[in-house]
């Protein structure tokens, strides 16, 4: 087990990054540079916060988020990997895969010339993960924290046969109020509506949310933009290596049942996830590397 001291000695960077342990038992990389602050849990390589200096946070983290071993954090950027949603054949396996609840390791950190901070994590396999995902592979997450946040999820097939991969950066965005926002970029796009009986529909106009929304938009590589009239800003989600976009807000009843949203917590967030799911699961050939990249930035409205 790597101690906090040795992590800080090996990977800490003065004026950029230090490792801390929080109540609950998780270790976080705390980034504070000229452009922004961010905290990233090593468990799950889970980015919990990201806030450009002088601005509201871009990423939403529940006030009731728990930081405990083996549990996913409510908010931030959970990594869904190597499947999205329920497992295709075994409903006992964890929803959205296991990557977000297992330990990762820090592999590299650096201060970049433009003042940004870079960190790379790699998932540590164990007997349980190998039993759930019997494919020779590695997965890494790279985060570059600057004025924008860049996240790359890199999957390498290190074996001799192809495998199919489902994945998403399940990002929770901070908004003034769900009633103040519209999501643009998915107009005319086909989606799988998961509320009630699963149905396929086509998006008409921008997305406004007035009840539970749980949709997987397929075959789209477009940027998504969350326009927030309350904060007078737009959050832009630009991506490569992703053909699906998931839009999710649990609304009152489901959020209450989850227990870690807090009262009316769902009103201050919306998930716009970049990934590959349903029609868009990715076939990674032997020896091939697949990269899913998302960049989150803000613009004045």
Q: Catalytic residues, which ones?
A: 170, 273
Toward ligand BG6, which CB reaches closer, 13 or 64? Answer: 64
Say whether residue 246 binds ligand BG6 (CB under 6 A): yes
- Interface of this chain with ligand BG6, residues 108 to 147, rule: CB under 6 A: none
Q: How far is the CB of 210 from ligand BG6 (least distance, A)?
A: 18
Using alpha carbons, list the distances in angstroms from residue 77 to 74, 161, 204, 254, 279: 9, 30, 28, 20, 23
Toward ligand BG6, which CB reaches closer, 120 or 239? Answer: 239
Q: How far is the CB of 78 from ligand BG6 (least distance, A)?
A: 6
- Token pair in block for residue 100: 């977000």
Say whether residue 214 binds ligand BG6 (CB under 6 A): yes
**Interacting residue with ligand BG6 among 22, 32, 51, 95 (CB under 6 A):** 95
- Interface of this chain with ligand BG6, residues 249 to 278, rule: CB under 6 A: 273
- Interface of this chain with ligand BG6, residues 33 to 72, rule: CB under 6 A: 72
**Interacting residue with ligand BG6 among 96, 174, 239, 266 (CB under 6 A):** 96
Q: How far is the CB of 82 from ligand BG6 (least distance, A)?
A: 15
Closest CB to ligand BG6: residue number: 248
Say whether residue 248 binds ligand BG6 (CB under 6 A): yes
Residues in contact with ligand BG6, counted by CB under 6 A, come to a total of 9
Q: How far is the CB of 95 from ligand BG6 (least distance, A)?
A: 5
- Interface of this chain with ligand BG6, residues 157 to 196, rule: CB under 6 A: 170, 194
User: In the complex, which residues of this chain contact ligand BG6 (CB under 6 A)?
Assistant: 72, 95-96, 170, 194, 214, 246, 248, 273
């Amino acid at each position: 087990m790597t101690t906090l001291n040795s992590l800080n000695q090996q990977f800490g960077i003065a004026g950029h990054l230090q490792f801390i342990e929080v109540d609950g038992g998780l270790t976080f990389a705390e980034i504070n540079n000229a452009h922004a602050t961010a905290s990233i849990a090593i468990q799950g390589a889970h980015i919990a916060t990201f806030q450009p200096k002088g601005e509201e946070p871009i990423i939403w983290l529940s006030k009731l988020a728990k930081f405990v071993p083996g549990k996913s954090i409510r908010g931030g950027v959970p990594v869904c990997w190597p499947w999205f949603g329920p497992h295709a054949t075994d409903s006992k396996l964890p929803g959205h895969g296991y990557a977000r609840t297992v330990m990762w390791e820090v592999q590299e950190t650096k201060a970049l010339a433009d003042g940004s901070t870079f960190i790379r994590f790699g998932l540590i396999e164990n007997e349980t993960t190998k039993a759930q995902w019997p494919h020779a592979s590695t997965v890494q997450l790279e985060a570059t924290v600057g004025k924008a946040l860049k996240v790359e999820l890199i999957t390498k097939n290190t074996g001799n046969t192809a495998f199919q991969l489902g994945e998403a950066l399940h990002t929770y965005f901070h908004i003034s109020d769900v009633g103040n926002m519209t999501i643009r970029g998915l107009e005319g796009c086909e989606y799988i509506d998961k509320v009630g009986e699963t149905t396929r529909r086509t998006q008409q106009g921008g997305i406004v949310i007035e009840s539970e929304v749980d949709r997987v938009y397929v075959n789209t590589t477009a940027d998504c933009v969350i326009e927030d009239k309350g904060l007078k800003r737009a959050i832009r989600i630009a991506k490569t290596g992703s053909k699906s976009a998931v839009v999710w807000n649990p609304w009152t009843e489901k959020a209450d049942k989850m227990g870690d949203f807090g009262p009316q917590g769902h009103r201050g967030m919306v998930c716009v996830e970049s990934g590959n799911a349903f029609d868009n699961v990715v076939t990674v050939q032997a020896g091939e590397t697949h990269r899913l990249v998302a960049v989150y930035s803000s613009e004045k409205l």
